[in-house]
Amino acid sequence: MGEVDPAFVQDPEHRPKLWVNEAEGIPLINLSAIKSEDDPEAIEEVVREIGSACKEWGFFQVINHGVPLEIHQKVEAEARKFFGLPLEEKTKVRRDEWSALGYYDTELTKNVRDWKQVFDFAVDVPTFVPASPDPDDNNLMQWTNQWPQYPPQFREACEEYSREVEKLSLKIMELIAQSLGLGANRFSGYFKEQTSFIRLNHYPPCPSPQLALGMGRHKDSGALTVVAQDDVGGLEVKRKSDGEWIRVKPIPNAFVINVGDNIQVWSNDKYESVEHRVMVNSEKERFSIPFFLNPAHYTVVEPLQELIANEQNPPKFRPYNWGKFITHRKLSSSKKLNVENIQIYQFKIHE
């Protein structure tokens, strides 16, 4: 990694604050009740807890989720091997404007505000997305995974992990649907040809952690994010009630779940996607693995009709095409377009 950009120190809007409140963490939810249907009251309690967490925080952690610990340990071990390779080996599978998946290093683009290395791979292969954000262009392009030759077990570990976390993410979507008073399968049709992907994050030790971020403050644009983090920690959530940054305490064999922009729109603002960021460490490297659950490219994202069926709750967002949205985001990232990246507030209906 490179040196911290001195100009970053002079940018108060993005420079991380040194304080964070760790006294009150995000909700922790035990999912053991969903493993069987023998106790409907226990399942209803889980649904209520998830609904409350989505409404009050937009974030929660889950334990007893059903993903075997050894699968997580295996993919993390392979990720450590991959990121430990020489740069010339990693850049053989480097992502670029034409290939949205693969290896990426902030040093390669001199973007040291985000202090990290990543490797992205799609859940479904191939994954189809619009070739252009132009609404009149109906051409599609394929996202295909780039797998490195080394380490030899890397691909197998990634694909095995992907299958397990995909099942968990879709189950959580069922519980979120129920918490909104909808049928458990209300969202399932959106993910038949999903554009979901997984990111392996490596945050090397940073010589000036007070001047950089592992990941700047942002909201996730998709439906749901399921994150495994190691015991180093660094993920922080902006609390809705007062705007204070809250450190997400690492819990062994837990996943961090956060609501994405899609759910905010589908729920008509009942559940909100909230800002979060990642702090770096001067002494320890950090690893995390977010699973980004995203709908099919042709999905029209808009408030669900069941939730806007009366005059007291009119739609708060205009519809938008998910594929065009995500293609715009990807192009803005790869080309560094001199325009603001597209955000869901641009589709907000103002009374």
Domains defined along the chain, listed by start: 6-347 (2.60.120.330)
278, amino acid identity: V
pLDDT of residue 105: 86
Over residues 94-104, mean pLDDT: 85
35-68 confidence digits (pLDDT tens): 877 788 999 999 999 999 999 999 999 999 999 9
Better-scored residue on pLDDT, 214 or 250: 250
Q: Are 271 and 178 in contact (CB under 8 A)?
A: no
Under a CB-based contact definition with an 8 Å cutoff, are residues 214 and 203 in contact? Answer: yes
Q: Is the distance from CB of 48 to CB of 29 less than 8 angstroms?
A: no
Give Rg (Cα) of the chain. 20
Instruction: Pinpoint the alpha helices (H) of the chain.
Output: 6-9, 40-56, 69-83, 87-90, 154-179, 261-266, 322-335
In this structure, are residues 188 and 178 in contact, taking their beta carbons and an 8 Å threshold?
Answer: no
* CB-CB neighbours of 11 under 10 Å: 11
Rounded to two decimals, the pTM is 0.90
- pLDDT tens column, 277-301: 988 888 889 999 999 999 999 999 9
